[in-house]
Every structure is written in structure tokens, then in C-alpha cells.
């Protein structure tokens, strides 16, 4: 029994759990919006596209988030440019850009392996996160959270009914830009916890789980943030015993929670739906 408390005795673990929890919370906040719009590909793309920036930053001794941001902006601009010029579909454009950026990052790492740990970038390494990196993550997460708490209703309105949003005086373009900037920032923060490949889960799964449990957006947000924080922190905790794979554990927990909701949700769950179907059949 005592062994279960072991992680709390180590500073690095406590730090990891706090950082993960915070990142999980803010990513989950964003996931409420992303999953409603079906923007999985964008989330995945951002996670992959920042990798060369991160690799470069480490190599040059800069803060990793600066490099990541730089790469992210570059990727976004490339997408916009290519989109303007061709009739190629949106998803193919996003696909080419992010895979190229990612390949570039991998190439950089493969050529200069000493300067950066590929595993950390791809798979996350919150258990071994440096204080400098932890600080960046916390700042990004807290600032993003603050902005989201202030603007969540306006964002909801823009994503639900852009026309109406205009008629109440909102500027949909600015709000969308704000959203994607926050998304990029939080994905950069999440890289440390789950790595580039699994970041997508953090920004869609908790929201989807909450979506199966409520019809009200505000409740969805609260649930989503709760799920995100708890699964992330627990995931860090559990990975202590597995000696690694924090990202894998966190996302597995989030997915498991989603499946639970899928089957057991009182109104929107599968079992509830079947019960309703059989009730209808049994009507006289």
C-alpha cells in the first residue's frame, strides 16, 4: 500500500503530475471546440509540424517553445499559401505540409543526434522535464486558460453560428485567429507531456467524452477540463510504475474513459440507446 504513495515522495514526480494536470486541463478546454468541429487533422498537423522547430531550438540552445512556435507559424503560412494557389483539397494540403515539416525535424535529429533526444520530442518526457521547460509549459498553460475562461462564450458563438456572431458585434475572424493561436500554444506545451504524435488525443478526446454526457456547452467544458486534468495527472502517476511511456498511459486512460462514456452514458450512450429501442419494440 505504501508503495502506491511512492511517487509523491519524489520532487520530479510531483512536478510531472502538476505540469501534466495543468496541460491536460487547458488542452481539454480546447478539445471541447475542436471535437465539435471535427478538426482532428489540424490538431495532429500542428503537433507534428512544430518538431523541426523544437529540434532546432534545442540545438541552438533556445527555449523549445520559441522554436516550436516559429515552426508552427511557418507551417500555417505554408498551408495558406498552397491553398490559395491550387485546387488541392484542404486535407491533402495539411497532410503534405505537416509530414514534410515532421520529416525535416526527424532528419535534423538523425544528422545531429547528440544535441536532442528524439524520444522526448516524439513521445514526450514529462518525468524528466527540466525546470526551464516546465516553467515555459506552466506559463503558456496559465495564460491560455485565463484567456479561454474570459472568451469561452464568444468562441462558442462563433463556432456555432458565425452569422449570428457578427450580428451581435463579434469579430469572427479575430476570434478564430485567437483560437488557433491558443491551440498552437497549448500543443507546444503538450509536447512535453505526451509528445508530438499523441498530442492530438489531448485536444480532442476529453471533449468528445464530455460530449456524450451532457447537452449543455458549459457543462461540457467543465467535464472536459476535469477529465483532461485527472487523466493527465494520473497518467503521469501511473507511468512512474511502468518506468516511462507517460504519453501512452495518459492517452490510453483518456481513450478508455471515452469508451466508458460511449457505452454507459445515461442518455447518449450505446446501452441507453438499445434500452430505448427495446422499450419501443415492447410497446403494446
Partner 1 sequence: MSALWSFFVEPFAYDFMQRAVLVAVLVGAVSAALSCFLVLKGWSLMGDAISHAVLPGIVLAFLLGLPLALGAFAAGLFSALATGYLKEHSRVKEDTVLGIVFSGMFAVGLVMFVKVETEQHLTHILFGNMLGVTAADVLETAIVAGITLLVVLLKRRDFVLYAFDPQQARVMGLNVRLLHYGLLVLLSLTVVASLQAVGIILVVAMLIAPGATGFLVTRTFGRMLAVAMAVAIGSSLLGTFVSFHIDAATGPCIVLIQTAVFLLALFFAPRTGLLMRRLGHVPELPSAPSRQ
Partner 2 sequence: MTRLSPEVPDEAWRLDRVRPALEVNDVTVAYPNGTVALRNASFRLAGGTIAGLVGVNGSGKSTLFKAIMGFVTPARGSVGIAGMAVPEALKRSLVSYVPQSEEVDWDFPVLVEDVVTMGRYGHMGFFRIPSARDKQLVAEALERVGMSDFRKRQIGELSGGQKKRVFLARALAQEGRIILLDEPFTGVDVKTEQAIVELLRELRASGHLVLVSTHNLGSVPEFCDQVVLVNRTILAAGPTAEVFTQANLERAFGGVLRHFHLEGADLHDDSDRRRVTVLTDDERPVVFYGEPGPDRSDEPERDR
Binding site for partner 1 (CB under 8 A): 34-41, 43-44, 82, 85-89, 91-96, 99-100, 102-104, 106-107, 110-111, 119, 122-123, 197-198, 200-201, 204-205, 208, 211-212, 242-245, 247-252, 254-256, 258, 262, 268, 270, 273
Report the nearest approach of partner 1 to the CB of residue 68 (Å): 18
Distances, alpha carbon 179 to alpha carbons 93, 107, 153, in Å: 21, 31, 12
The residue (of 156 and 190) whose beta carbon lies closer to partner 2 is 156
DSSP 8-state assignment for residue 116: S
Cite the DSSP H helix spans in the chain: 11-37, 40-49, 51-60, 64-85, 90-111, 118-123, 131-160, 162-167, 172-202, 205-211, 217-242, 246-264, 270-281
- Please state the closest distance from residue 5 (CB atom) to partner 2, in A: 38
Q: Which does 18 bind (CB under 5 to 8 A by kind): partner 2, partner 1, none?
A: none
CB of 280 to partner 2, least distance (A): 16
Q: Are 164 and 156 within 8 A, CB to CB?
A: no
Per-position x/- string for 158-187, each x denoting binding to partner 2 as judged by CB under 8 A, each - no binding: --xx-xx-xxxxx-----------------
**What does the block give as the cell for 14?**
510531483
23 binds, among partner 1, partner 2, none (CB under 5 to 8 A by kind): none
Q: Which of 104, 125, 92 is nearest to 51 (CA)?
A: 104
Pick 169 or 284: Cβ nearer partner 2: 169
Within 32-61, the residues that bind partner 2 by CB under 8 A are 36
Q: Using CA atoms, how far apart are residues 6 and 18, in angstroms rounded to an integer?
A: 16
Amino acid at each position: 500500500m505504501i508503495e502506491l504513495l511512492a511517487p509523491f515522495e519524489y520532487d520530479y514526480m510531483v512536478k510531472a503530475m502538476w505540469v501534466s494536470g495543468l496541460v491536460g486541463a487547458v488542452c481539454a478546454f480546447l478539445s471541447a471546440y475542436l471535437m465539435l468541429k471535427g478538426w482532428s487533422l489540424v490538431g495532429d498537423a500542428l503537433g507534428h509540424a512544430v518538431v523541426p522547430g523544437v529540434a532546432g531550438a534545442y540545438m541552438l540552445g533556445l527555449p523549445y517553445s520559441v522554436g516550436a512556435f516559429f515552426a508552427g507559424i511557418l507551417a500555417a503560412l505554408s498551408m495558406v499559401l498552397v491553398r490559395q494557389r491550387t485546387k488541392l483539397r484542404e486535407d491533402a494540403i495539411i497532410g503534405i505540409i505537416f509530414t514534410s515539416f515532421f520529416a525535416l525535424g526527424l532528419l535534423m535529429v538523425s544528422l545531429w543526434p547528440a544535441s536532442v533526444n528524439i524520444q522526448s520530442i516524439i513521445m514526450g518526457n514529462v518525468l524528466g522535464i527540466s525546470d526551464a521547460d516546465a516553467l515555459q509549459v506552466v506559463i503558456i498553460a496559465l495564460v491560455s486558460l485565463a484567456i479561454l475562461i474570459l472568451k469561452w462564450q464568444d468562441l462558442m458563438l462563433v463556432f456555432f453560428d458565425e452569422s449570428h456572431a457578427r450580428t451581435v458585434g463579434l469579430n469572427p475572424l479575430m476570434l478564430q485567429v485567437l483560437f488557433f493561436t491558443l491551440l498552437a500554444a497549448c500543443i507546444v506545451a503538450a509536447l512535453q507531456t505526451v509528445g508530438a504524435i499523441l498530442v492530438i488525443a489531448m485536444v480532442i478526446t476529453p471533449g468528445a467524452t464530455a460530449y456524450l454526457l451532457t447537452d449543455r456547452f458549459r457543462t461540457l467544458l467543465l467535464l472536459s477540463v476535469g477529465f483532461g486534468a485527472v487523466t493527465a495527472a494520473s497518467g503521469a502517476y501511473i507511468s512512474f510504475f511502468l518506468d516511462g511511456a507517460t504519453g501512452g498511459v495518459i492517452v490510453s486512460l483518456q481513450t478508455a474513459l471515452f469508451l466508458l462514456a460511449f457505452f454507459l452514458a445515461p442518455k447518449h450512450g450505446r446501452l441507453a440507446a438499445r434500452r430505448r429501442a427495446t422499450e419501443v419494440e415492447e410497446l403494446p
